Amino acid sequence: MRVKHIRSLKLPKSLIRVILGGLLLLICMSCTSENEKGESVYTVQRASEAAVIDANWEKPFWQNVPALSLAHHMGEKPAHFPVTEAKLRYDDQAIYVIFRVQDQYVRAVADGYQGPVYRDSCVEFFFTPGADIAAGYFNLEMNCGGQALFMHQLKWETEVTPVSADHFSEVTVAHSLPEIVDPEISEPTTWTVEYRLPFSVLANYTSLKAPDAGTVWRANFYKCADATSAPHWLTWAEVDFPRPNFHLPEFFGALVFE
């Protein structure tokens, strides 16, 4: 019997990246569950020791910790839909957050604390340190260069308290890209940001009890890039609103502390 030799199929590298990114997105979507209300739920594991904050997604501290994935979008579905993941852990003093973004068209020009980082390649953690969204929420927004905007909001745009620079100096931040990324990086680029956020910082702005096993916070995670050449608005918990708006705590998912 003659055996026909099958020539190997050579796919463009760009197509391979898209396929692998899609598979990773499907895998990470399984790391987020839903409660009986249909809300997205993520379990925050307790850490037995503090992490070195170095923006290293692969370090032992984050191994065996499931990632949540930003699989939803606001507005029209963007042509550029970067695979965006986050992991969280906590101890008695702080919550630890790391993001990894498989991105393209990456830019960071915001210069200084409380600048318009949302116009850059940016990841955002919005959260209420408790289950009651009426108590207000924090929005911690950070671009790929580690610049941040950090506010406490009782009511969006009308009852807002900026987190002071002195208090933010207690937050340890690391990032894999330079502080300024200009001109925009047009080729595929993976970047990470990581931070340690002490509960004592939050206690300056809201009534707060450090979480323990069974504590529930409300939260959402976002990825945006308003002023890049490929703008997009991605979310972890789905937001049912006709245009991009991240300041809708009624759509927050749940963080359940282990």
Give the DSSP letter of residue 214. Answer: T
- Which domains does the chain possess? 13-257 (2.60.40.1190)
pLDDT of residue 38: 76
Give the DSSP letter of residue 204. Answer: T
Task: Please state which of the ranges 28-32, 80-84, 90-94, 175-179 shows the lowest mean pLDDT.
Answer: 28-32
pLDDT of residue 36: 62
Task: Please state which of the ranges 33-42, 81-90, 168-177 shows the lowest mean pLDDT.
Answer: 33-42
CA angle 239, 72, 102 (to 5 degrees): 140
pLDDT of residue 32: 61
* C-beta separation of 218 from 128 below 8 A: yes
pLDDT per residue as tens digits for the range 64-112:
999 999 999 999 999 999 999 999 999 999 999 999 999 999 999 999 9
d(C-alpha 189, C-alpha 177), whole Å: 10
Give me the chain's average pLDDT, please.
90
Question: Which residues 6+ apart lie within 8 Å of 88 measured at CB?
Answer: 42, 44, 45, 95, 96, 97, 255
d(C-alpha 25, C-alpha 68), whole Å: 9
pLDDT of residue 15: 45
